[in-house]
Structure 1
Amino acid sequence: MTTEDYWRLNATDLTTLTRSGDISAEDAVQSAIDRMHEVNPDLNAVVEDLSTEALDRARHLDRSRARGAPVGPLHGVPVTIKINVDQKGHATSNGVVALKDVIASDDAPVVRNLHKAGAVVIGRTNTPEFSFRADTDNPLHGRTHNPWGRHISPGGSSGGAGAAVMAGIGALAHGNDIGGSLRFPAAANGAVTIKPGLGRVPAWNPSQQAERGLLAQSMSVQGLITRSAADLHLSMPSLIAADPRDPFHVPIPWRGEPLDGPIKVAFTKDTFGYALHSEVEKALDTARDALSDAGYQVEEVSPPDVFECGRTGYRTLMGEVLTLMKSDIEAAGSKTIRDIFDVYFQEFPPIVGTDLVQMLAKRSHYAREWSLFMQDYPLVLSPFLPQPFFKPDRDTEGAEGVHEVLGCAVYSYAMNFLGLPAACVPARLADLPSGPQPINIQIAARRWREDLAVDAAAAIEARVGQMHLPLWKRMSAAK
């Protein structure tokens, strides 16, 4: 492999070389930057180019290593950061024109933890306005495109992150997830991610003027989008390092105790009346067979009521959004995002007042039911979406569009309301009339056992392969 091709390496393979000194951090970062400059003009995934400071940092890492200083687990790995998280000296715009000059005075915990691990930030990635769409477009930076083609949305709200990492712009991409914003882009772009459980990754933005609402605090989590499950095992232990600025962080190791006997997996194809597309069903069958062959005990059984939990959770979140965010959206949002929120409130009638307080209490009921179920079934294999990923701007097409984008995504936001970890991994490459498209499935896990979900994702990936190879060949052929 030539220096120019280092961008093709997963983070796990790259760190084997950078930590040993076989390649320099500067060469690893330069290759990723060159790739960014080659493909990002077409994708618009990275909206702030940090090449100069990235190369300065990479050279500093090389000098430190040469002096015999210890190297971090992510030494020289090029990464991207989503523009809704603070990075010192850069704007935390959240895709909103009115916030374009909000310059962070310090790094958020996830940025600090990545730096401590030796990662190098090469750019900041796009998000929709207020990071509250499952698609990525905004008046400040424009639309992000999916590297698989413009027939598929790049997902959201971490759409820039998903498109970047799958196009080879950095080996790791930071994102976050309040209802699916790590998993939607993973599914759209054929990437791998784990939505961590509540309290696993420290979170706080020094630039914020007020504390977030209780549901935003308990449903939103920080994470990474990667090209391989192994890269999550490599990188997440660094991301979960404690930070005193998050008083509710739970400082427990990434790896939990091994479970006795074969791990039981609850397998369900239930889509609650939404049509299950044949390609999604094939992806589920492939994932089931991969886990069975890997030694898991897969049983077709329904988990506790996902539909009620998910819909109740998102309606409760909409109640908090209506109370705490609607005035900001009306004042600073574009007509597009204001119209989308109007339809959100129709699809998910906000729970407010006394009912809101009661639903916050009932959240413990749902979580307890799942906790008891997961004593027998530590993992749950399910669809992520019942249909292949939607087209760009589908959520601007009224009630029908929002229903297809978010209304049927109950497996996604149910996990946020429950605070449970959930991995999303591609299990099939579909050849649809609109073009090739990855199909991802979801694996939910017991509380604090993100490692089990990632292990299962790795077993599925071992059967299916990684999705970036056909993508890169296709992009190269199109040049």
Structure 2
Amino acid sequence: MTLRDLWRLNATDLTNLTRKGEISAEDAIKSSIDRMHQVNPDLNAVVEDLSTEAVSHARELDNAVAGGAEPGPLHGVPVTIKINIDQRGHATTNGVVALKDVIAPDDAPVVRNLQNAGAIVIGRTNTPEFSFRADTDNELHGRTYNPWGRHISPGGSSGGAGAAVMAGIGALAHGNDIGGSLRFPAAANGAVTVKPGLGRVPAFNPSQKVERGLLAQSMSVQGLITRSAADLHLSMPSLIAADPRDPFHVAMSWRGEKTDGPIKVAFTKNTYGYDLHPEVDKALDTARDALMDAGYDVQEVNIPDVFECARGGYRALMGEVLTLLKTDIEAAGSQTIRDIFEVYFQEFPPITGAELIGMLARRTQYAREWALFMLDYPLILSPFLPQPFFGPDRDTEGPEGVHEVLGCAVYSYAMNFLGLPAASVPARLADLPNGPQPINVQIAAARWREDMAVDAAAAIEARVGQMCLPLWERMDQVN
């Protein structure tokens, strides 16, 4: 492999070379930057190019290692940061025109942790306005496109992150997830991610003027989107390093205790009345078979009621949004995002007042039910979406569009309300009328066991392969 092709390497393979000194951090970064300059004009995934400071940072790391410093676990790994998270000296726009001059006074914990581990930020990635859509477009930075084709949304809200990492722009992509914003882009682009559980990754934006609402604090988490499950095992231990600015962060090691005997997996195809597409059905079968062949004890069983928990939780979140954010959305949002939120409020009638307090109390009941169930089944394999990923702007097409995009995604935001980890991994490359399209499945895990979800994702990936490989072949053919 030539130095120009280093962008093709996963973070795990790349660090095997950089940490041994076989290639420099500067070599790795320049290759990824070249790839960014080649493909990003067609994707608009990266909306702030940090090439100059990235090369300078890489040289500093190389010089430090040459002087005897120990290379970090992510030495020379190119990463991208989502524009709703603070990075010192850069605008935290959140996709909103009115926030274009909000310059971060310091790095958020995830940025600090990645850089402390030796990762190098090459760019900042796009998000929809207020990071509150499952698609990625805004008036400030424009639309992000899916590298598989413009007939597929790139997902959201970490749509820029998902499109970037799968197109070869950086080996790791930072994102966050309050209702699916890591897993939607992973599913749209065929990437791998794990939504961490509540308290796992420290979170704080130094630029913020007020604290976020209680549900936003408890449902939103920071994470990474990657091309391979192995890269999550490599990078997440660095991401979860403690930061005192998050007083509710739980300092735990990445790996939990090994279990005795085969790990039991609850398997379900229940879509709660939504039609299960044949390609999603096949993806679930493939994932099940891959886990069984890898030694997991997969059993098709009834799981706790996802629908009731998910819909109640998202209605509660909409109640908090209505109370705390609607004024800002009306004042600073585009007509598009204002219209979408009006339909959100129809799809998920906001729970407010005394009823909201009651739902927050019921959240503990739901979490307890799941905790007891997961004593027997620490992993749950399920659909992520019941249908293949939707097209761009589907959520602008009134109640039907929002229902297809978000209403049916109960397996997604249920995990946010419960505070449980959930991985997303491609299990099939479907041949659909508009072209090939990845189909991801979800693996939820017991509390604090992100590592088990990623292990299961790795077993599925070993059967199916990394989706970036056929994607790059397709991109080469188009170009």
TM-score when scaled to structure 1?
A: 1.00
1:141 aligns with 2:141: yes
Query: Aligned partners of 1:102, 1:377: CA distance in 2, in Å?
Result: 45
The one-letter code matched in structure 1 to 2:132 is F
The residue number in structure 2 matching 1:342 is 342
**What is the Cα deviation at residue 303 of structure 1?**
1.1
Which residue of 1 is the match for residue 288 of structure 2? 288
1:132 aligns with 2:132: yes
Alpha-carbon distance between aligned partners in 2 of 1:472 and 1:184, rounded to the nearest angstrom = 20
What is the CA-CA distance between 1:362 and the residue it aligns to? 0.4
Q: Which residue of 2 aligns with 1:213?
A: 213
| Partner-residue secondary structure (3-state), 2:75 | coil
By how many angstroms is 1:38 displaced? 0.2
CA distance in 1, matches of 2:471, 2:308: 37
Q: How far does residue 314 in structure 1 lie from its aligned partner after superposition?
A: 0.2
The equivalences for 1:273-284 within 5 A come to 273-284=273-284
Task: Give the Cα separation in 2 of the matches to 1:7 and 1:436.
Answer: 23
Q: Match of 1:450? A: 450
Letter of the structure 2 residue corresponding to residue 153 of structure 1: S
Counterpart in the other structure of 2:359 = 359
Q: Structure 1, residues 100-122: CA drift from partner, whole Å, max 9, x if none?
A: 00000000000000000000000
Alignment correspondent of 1:376: 376
Instruction: Give the alignment's TM-score, normalised by structure 2.
Output: 1.00
1:197 corresponds in structure 2 to 197
One-letter code aligned to 2:25: A
Which amino acid in 2 is paired with 1:119? A
Could you give the per-residue CA deviations for residues 67-108 of structure 1, whole angstroms, max 9, x where no partner exists? 110110000000000000000000000000000000000000
Equivalents in 1 of 2:144, 2:72: separation in Å?
Answer: 32
Specify the SS of the correspondent of 2:42. helix
Partner Cα separation in structure 2 for residue 475 and residue 445 of structure 1: 34
| C-alpha distance in structure 1 between counterparts of 2:59 and 2:476, whole Å | 30
Name the amino acid aligned to 2:106: D
Match of 1:183 in 2: 183
- Do residues 316 (structure 1) and 316 (structure 2) align? yes
- AA matched with 2:251: P
Following superposition, the deviation at residue 459 of structure 1 comes to 0.2
Task: Give the aligned residue type for 1:126.
Answer: N
Instruction: Give 1:389 deviation, angstroms.
Output: 0.1
Partner of 2:165: 165
The amino acid of 2:360's aligned partner reads L
* Equivalence for 1:100: 100
Amino acid at match of 2:397: E
* Aligned partner letter, 1:325: L
Q: Distance in 1 between the 2:111 and 2:311 partners?
A: 32
State the alpha-carbon separation in 2 of the partners of residues 288 and 251 from structure 1. Answer: 32
Q: Deviations over 1:273-297 (max 9, x none)?
A: 0000000000000000000000000
Distance across 2 between alignment mates of 1:313 and 1:456:
27
What is the rounded CA distance, in whole Å, between the counterparts of 2:478 and 2:326 in structure 1? 43
Residue 19 of structure 2 aligns with which residue? 19
Q: Percent identity of the aligned residues?
A: 84
Query: What CA distance in whole angstroms lies between the structure 1 residues aligned with 2:169 and 2:73?
Result: 20
Report whether the alignment pairs 1:421 with 2:398.
no
**What's the secondary structure of 2:473's corresponding residue?**
helix
Question: For 1:436 and 1:151, how far apart are their aligned partners in 2?
Answer: 11
Q: Distance in 2 between matches of 1:152 and 1:181?
A: 16
Structure 1 residue 472 displacement after superposition: 0.5
SS at match of 1:283: helix
Secondary structure, aligned partner of 1:439: strand
Counterpart position of 1:463: 463
Structure 2 distance, partners of 1:108, 1:20, is 29
Cα drift, residue 434 of structure 1: 1.3
Structure-1 separation of matches of 2:106 and 2:376: 44
Counterpart CA distance in 2 for 1:126 and 1:153 is 13
Distance in 2 (alpha carbons) for counterparts of 1:247 and 1:231: 28
Give the secondary structure class of the aligned counterpart of 1:160.
Answer: helix
Work out the CA distance in 2 between the residues paired with 1:435 and 1:127: 25
In the alignment, the residues of structure 2 paired with residue 362 and residue 477 of structure 1 have an alpha-carbon distance, to the nearest angstrom, of 52
User: Partners of 2:192 and 2:478 in 1: how far apart?
Assistant: 25
The residue number in structure 2 matching 1:46 is 46
Aligned letter for 1:475? M
Counterpart position of 1:306: 306
User: Letter of the aligned partner of 2:134 in structure 1?
Assistant: A
2:439 counterpart residue number: 439
